[in-house]
Amino acid sequence: MNDILAYSRWCLGVVILILAWEITGNRGWLGSTWPPLSSIFDYLNSRPNLELLVRNAGVTGVNAVLGLLFGTLIGALLAILGFLIPRLYPGLSTFATFVNALPLIALGPLLIITVGEGATPVAIATLSVFFSFFVAAISGINQTTAIQRDVTIVFGASRWKKLRFVQLPAAVPRLFDGLKLGASAAVLGAILGEWFGSGSGLGVILVSAMQNFQIELLWSAALFGTLLTITGFGFISLIRIAFFRRYL
Amino acid sequence: MAEFQKETLGSPLDGSPPTSVMQPFIEIDGVSKRYHLSRSDYVDALVDISFEICRNEFVALVGPSGCGKSTLLRMIAGLDEPSDGVIKVGDDHPRELIAKQRVGMAMQEHGLMPWLDAVGNVSLPFRLAGLPIDPERVEELLELVKLSKFSNARPSQLSGGMKQRLSIARALVLQPDLLILDEPFGALDAVTRRMMNQELQRIWSRKPTTTVLVTHSLEEAVFLSDRILMMSPNPGTVISEYPVPLPRPRTLETSREKDFLSLVESVTARLDEICATELLS
Amino acid sequence: MMRVWLVGAIVRYWTILILLVFWQVLVTVNDYNSIVAPSPIQVGTAFLSDPEYFMFHAWYTLSSALGGLILGIAIGTIVASLSWATPLFNGLLMPMSLFFRSIPIVAMIPIIVRLVGYGSHSVIMITAILTFFPCYLLFLSGLEDVNSTRKDFFSSLNCQPKGFKMLTFFRYLALPSAMPNLLVSVRLLAPICILVALVTEFLMGLQGLGYVMTSARSTLRMDVSWAAAIISCLLSVGFFLVASAVEQKYRSRWSD
């Protein structure tokens, strides 16, 4: 009974939201920059508009995926390194806190020179993913209890074996959470990177639409960015389900 | 509360059970508790429980794990409803007692507020009841549990035993008609536990209150209570009753005497018997 | 004593030292000129040659971020408290939460910039808007996630979350229980506030370190741009460390 109530409340909320959006847009209560939902759909209805957005979303998507791959890889490697060589751990942990606090946008100027304008979106996406994944990996690996660790010591396992058989399996849920965070971080990083002079991508469209008062385009680009993130979430969830089914 | 004098339930050790002249304060009649796991699946936690508790009587509920003692206790306290049967506290539904803030509770997890100091925690019931805080009463209780020196300490600064003492002070501050104790000393080590039992005994004797205690420790049950009700394993029901005719006040010395130990022994034997049957079945 | 300190610093900060060295080497080896890529020394010089300029903009960014953080948290906690009291409210805001969590911040900011207009108030407003939602979610979950033993104790004294004693319950149990979450949200949102402030300034191009980064690029003063970028990083890290310290200090007051 409670579930049905909660679900219907949720649906009601969605309906009210959509209606409010429509009315606000139509009446112009929030000014010309808040279009009714219907006009956004109208805008997307036209073929060339849609193509423009899909094409650029694709570019951003590719950047994000590459960023996700590299970022996860580097994050995982460093986390494992920090675990296998305990001396390095304090430095790596400080590094993680440090990079987590860095504003990504500040890296833009730094990166366009070092890796070039074309690769900047991927670079920022990589760093963005690395930040969140590294923290999740480190915390995941460290979460096994002292007792579990003691048991492996008594059985004479080497650090590597301990990692492989005890800590990594235990860290898996956190790692997947980290991947999920990484998905949204990747899209965010890719868009941000595109602001630093890349030729195409949703980031470029967002900025130019903003500057040129192309409201429907602006909202549509944001919508596509959201769709990319949601697709990323979905993809990770699918992998997670498949993984758990296979190994558990 | 103040007008009821404590009936001397401890009688000479001639084996005769104490007679309760007063009317029963708590009546439990045919109480059952059933939990539905799904539409057709259910589990009976308690089945057909009936007994009475007199005013100012100290009753202990004991039994193996999972027999439903805590469930029964919660229902007496008014926090839960039986699926079947009736519970009356002073001729009213237990919730009436709660509505008048006449119930005091101390649990295994002390449930103290970490953001308040000792005085704040003991004063909290006043605020919740919408009554003006009586600082003298609060001080009186902190003295009673020997925590006066720690009035401004926070729970995180107190030891396990001290936290439980504070929890008990808090339970008693509004002079409740009914005291509910759910394994208050369960998380303490054996030595502290013995000390706490003596403390509780001392505190209770000053102002006897109708008390229902749930405990795993049979020594504790014998030491503190006037009557022990033993419950069977799931589904729980009351299968044995042991009056505890030992005179009050009871001290740690009492707990080493022959009568005490033999009572503990017979209760333990019965518990073993119940559990053995459970294991074999 | 000095030696111990030095060793300790190296153990903790070796990664950052390596980055600095790497950077200097990269620039020297590739022989970049300062328009393309400045070296650490050039960046330092750019800063030292006109510190007031940087400090002015840094102060603008910091105060906007801080103002937005405070405003966002204030509104977040108030709305969360209202949501706690009336589930209908929460039911309306919840669908928005999925939405908000999926839109990349960088996509939302251009929209909001257009909505609130270009002006000196915009940065604070945008920061507050983006801080509000995570704080709302965290605080609400803290309000609802009350320790069950304490809840039982309150029940035994006739104090329930729904009913005429709601305010008492809120004041003496729900609110204190949610305070740790409030502190956590301050720590988590601190770097985000700086990021949002910087991004907004970058897009609007009026004031602040974000503006410096973009304007310096157009005048080909990469050393200035990098200096602004590095100051932003320091600012963000510093802000985060302060927020963490605040959280650590007050956390013990509210939790076991």
Q: What chain B residue is nearest to C148 in terms of C-alpha separation?
A: B111
Radius of gyration of chain C (CA): 23
Integer angstrom CA distances of residue A216 from A16, A49, B21, B50, C193: 22, 10, 85, 73, 27
More confident residue, A147 or A241: A241
| B159 in contact with C, Cβ within 8 Å | no
pLDDT at A47 exceeding the cut of 50: yes
State how far the Cα of B155 lies from the Cα of B130, in Å rounded to an integer: 24
Give the tens place of pLDDT for each residue, C42-92: 777 878 888 888 888 889 999 999 999 999 999 999 999 998 988 777 777
Q: How many structural domains comprise chain B?
A: 1
Could you tell me if residue B53 is inside a domain? yes
pLDDT at B211 exceeding the cut of 90: yes
Q: Are A110 and C16 a contacting pair at CB < 8 A?
A: no
Integer angstrom CA distances of residue A219 from A75, A189, B142, C36: 33, 19, 64, 35
Could you tell me if residue C87 is inside a domain? yes
Could you tell me if residue C38 is inside a domain? no
Q: How many structural domains comprise chain C?
A: 1
Residues of chain C in contact with residue B103, where contact means CB-CB under 8 angstroms, are 156-157
Residues of chain A in contact with residue C221, where contact means CB-CB under 8 angstroms, are none
More confident residue, C22 or C237: C237
DSSP label at B49? E
Q: Are C107 and A226 a contacting pair at CB < 8 A?
A: yes
The parent domain of residue B211 ranges over 24-102+176-280
Task: Tell me whether chains C and A touch (3+ CB pairs under 8 A).
Answer: yes
Q: Are B114 and C254 a contacting pair at CB < 8 A?
A: yes
CATH, residue C171: 1.10.3720.10
pLDDT of residue A108: 80
Q: Are B124 and C155 a contacting pair at CB < 8 A?
A: no
pLDDT of residue B180: 94
The parent domain of residue C82 ranges over 51-254
Q: A101 CB contacts (<8 Å, ≥6 apart)? A: C190, C191, C236, C237, C239, C240, C241
Average of per-residue pLDDT across B108-130: 93
Could you tell me if residue B212 is inside a domain? yes
Closest CB from A191, A209, A210 relative to C104: A191
Q: Both tokens of residue B156?
A: 């995180």
Nearest CA of chain C to the CA of B180: how many Å? Answer: 10
Could you tell me if residue B238 is inside a domain? yes
Burial of B23 (0-12, 13-18, 19+ CB in 10 A): exposed
Mean pLDDT estimate for chain A = 80
CATH, residue B244: 3.40.50.300
pLDDT of residue B12: 38
Chains contacting C with at least 3 CB pairs below 8 Å?
A, B
Which of B256, B258, B250 has the alpha carbon at shortest distance from B200?
B250
Per domain, the residue ranges of chain A are 1-34, 36-247
Q: Where are the alpha helices (DSSP H) in B19-117?
A: 69-77, 94-99
| A13 in contact with C, Cβ within 8 Å | yes
Q: What chain B residue is nearest to C255 in terms of C-alpha separation?
A: B114
pLDDT of residue B215: 94
Can you give the pTM of this predicted structure?
0.81
State how far the Cα of B47 lies from the Cα of C4, in Å rounded to an integer: 70
- Tell me the residues of chain B between 80 and 139 that have a Cβ less than 8 Å away from chain C: 98-101, 103-105, 107, 109-111, 113-115, 124-125, 127-130
Which of B238, B185, B225, B184 has the alpha carbon at shortest distance from B29?
B238
Nearest CA of chain B to the CA of C174: how many Å? Answer: 11
Top residue of B124, B128, B172 to mutate, by most chain C CBs within 10 Å, is B128
pLDDT of residue C35: 60
Give the tens place of pLDDT for each residue, A97-121: 777 778 888 888 777 777 777 788 8
Q: If one looks up domain A36-247 in CATH, what number appears?
A: 1.10.3720.10
- Tell me the residues of chain A between 51 and 80 that have a Cβ less than 8 Å away from chain C: none
Could you tell me if residue B111 is inside a domain? no
pLDDT at C160 exceeding the cut of 50: yes
Per the listing, tokens 């257009």 go with: C114
ipTM of the prediction = 0.84
Identify whether B249 is preceded by a cis peptide bond (ω within 30 of 0): yes
pLDDT band at B220 (very low <50, low <70, confident <90, very high): very high
State how far the Cα of C106 lies from the Cα of A121, in Å rounded to an integer: 13
Could you tell me if residue B156 is inside a domain? no
- Tell me the residues of chain B between 8 and 67 that have a Cβ less than 8 Å away from chain C: none
Average of per-residue pLDDT across B253-266: 91
Nearest CA of chain A to the CA of C234: how many Å? Answer: 8
pLDDT band at B278 (very low <50, low <70, confident <90, very high): low
Which of B234, B181, B190, B186 has the alpha carbon at shortest distance from B209?
B181
Mean pLDDT estimate for chain C = 84
Could you tell me if residue B163 is inside a domain? no
Q: Are A91 and C36 a contacting pair at CB < 8 A?
A: no
Q: Are B98 and C147 a contacting pair at CB < 8 A?
A: no
pLDDT band at B18 (very low <50, low <70, confident <90, very high): very low
State how far the Cα of C219 lies from the Cα of A227, in Å rounded to an integer: 37
Give the tens place of pLDDT for each residue, B7-17: 333 433 444 44
Could you tell me if residue C176 is inside a domain? yes
State how far the Cα of C171 lies from the Cα of C169, in Å rounded to an integer: 6
